Amino acid sequence: MEPLNLPITGTKVETSKVFERDPETVRDEDLREAIWELGREGEWIVQPVPEPYYLAPTKFGRMKKIPLEHTWHHKSCGQCGHIPGYSTSIFWLNRILGYDYFDPRDQTSCTAWNYYASATSNQAAQAAVAMRNFSAAYETGYYPLIHCGTSFGHYKEVRHELVHDAKLRRQVRAIIEKLGRPFVMPEEIVHYSEWMYAVRDELAARVQYDLSPITATVHPACHYYKLQSGDAIYDPEIYGGQRTAAVTGVVQTLGAQVADYSTWYDCCGFGFRHILVQRDFTRSFATLRKIEVMKQEANPDVVLTHDTGCVTSLDKSQFAAKAHDRQVGVPVMSESQFAALALGAHPFRVCQLHWHSVDYRPLLRKMGIDVDRAWAEFEDDVSKIKTGELDYVTWEHVL
């Protein structure tokens, strides 16, 4: 396909009308005081956000505490299974910034995927899984940082239920006590992309390449901002504070261009039930409603998002549309992978782009990354592992 010469309007709104944020008007109640009050009454232990933290603006003006370090990384099942470079990039960025973190080996899957697919589970079981993970984080002394958008949104809804339903609290507490664990509620529930937003200036100070020629389209993850939207990060500078600033704020700060497109509010196609039982629908929606529209309206070099299911659907659906000669072929990755690349992370050892379906090489070359050399280095690693010269790639290889 020939490159399109499309005007990139960016994230500045065209109107002079200004949305005045007022925490009093938020429709999702601020649960923090209730959480602390239940803590004072002995209902649970409240785990405070560790200092130093960043205060991020939310949609209606409430400031949200985002921990910078001592974070317990609640990974995503689909992320580890399909796009391992996603979480590796987050860890790499933590190490580059010198932030202490913990990568647990005993985390339980949140079960929200099945919940949103109307497939399984019940209220107490789901809440027990959430609280089990929170207690696991608390026992390590690290603060939970949720990688998955769906886990993040789901845990916020579970938190809402637990605050308001004493019977549920008792049920879940009994389960957690049976496990021999403390009953803990974190002060804030925090998504990793909020941490990315919090450290965006620190990241920008370490960027190795000129990203100004790069145009990205952003797919905001539904379960990040459509569930209890008053708790998501919104910045008045980005689309007038009417769309979440997660991802977009980071990408712009890194120096790349963010382009608007008309189906930004649509689902990525994953749909939870659809990816399980109507996968053709997912493929069609992800490519015809999202990728093709982005291509027509913005012709991006890359699609960036902040959730496992979104990266997977948007990336791994494009082969189907390509077979039908549709206008697809845009690489997809998380903003954490993009930021890691921009800061000099190895495309294969760290970002593990070889797990991605769409050709990412044109993007890397446009960023100024020597992709052929990087691939040769990676092949060399593999050869050494095959011969036994190397057991596995370690952090020492990539920092």
Binding residues for other proteins, per CB under 8 A?
13-20, 25, 27, 60, 229, 239-242, 260, 262, 264-265
CB of 337 to other proteins, least distance (A): 28
Distance between alpha carbon 373 and the CA centroid of its chain, in Å?
A: 29
Residue 122 Cα distances to 34, 53, 146, 177, angstroms: 24, 34, 21, 19
Q: Which is nearer to other proteins, 19 or 395 (CB)?
A: 19
**CB 21 to other proteins: min, Å:** 8
CA distances from 125 to 109, 115, 121, 173 (A): 12, 11, 6, 11
Q: Quote the least distance from Cβ 13 to other proteins, whole Å.
A: 5
Q: Are 192 and 147 in contact (CB under 8 A)?
A: yes
A 10 A CB-CB count for 169 gives 20
Helix (H, G, I), strand (E, B) or coil at 66: strand
- Residues 317-351 as b/e (b if ≥16 CB within 10 A, e otherwise) read bbebbeeeebbbebbbbbbbbbbbbbbebbbbbbb
In degrees, to the nearest 5, what angle opens at C-alpha 339 toward C-alphas 89 and 267?
A: 85
Shortest Å, Cβ 269 to other proteins: 15
DSSP E strand boundaries for the chain: 45-47, 53-57, 63-67, 71-74, 101-102, 143-146, 184-186, 215-219, 257-259, 302-305, 332-334
Q: Which is nearer to other proteins, 15 or 387 (CB)?
A: 15
| Furthest C-alpha separation in the chain | 65
- CB of 19: closest distance to other proteins in angstroms? 4
Nearest distance from C-beta of residue 225 to other proteins, angstroms: 11
Main-chain phi, psi angles of 272, to 5 degrees: 65, -70
Work out how close the CB of 60 gets to other proteins at its nearest, in angstroms, rounded to a whole number: 8
Tokens 């990568």 sit at which residue?
A: 103
Q: How far is CA 154 from CA 166, 186, 266, 333, 341, in A?
A: 19, 14, 19, 23, 30
Residue closer to other proteins (CB basis): 149 or 220:
220
CB-CB neighbours of 170 under 10 Å: 11
235 versus 315: smaller Cβ distance to other proteins = 235
Question: Taking each helix axis from N to C terminus, what angle separates 308-316 and 149-164, rounded to the nearest 10 degrees?
Answer: 150
* Comparison of 16 and 212: residue with beta carbon closer to other proteins: 16
Q: Which is nearer to other proteins, 20 or 41 (CB)?
A: 20
Q: Which residues pair with 217 in a beta bridge?
A: 259, 303
Q: Of 5 and 212, which has the nearer Cβ to other proteins?
A: 5
Smaller CB separation from other proteins, 145 or 267: 267
Q: For the CB of residue 298, give the shortest distance to other proteins in the complex, in Å.
A: 12
| Closest distance of CB 241 from other proteins, Å | 7
Name the residue nearer to other proteins (CB basis): 155 or 234: 234
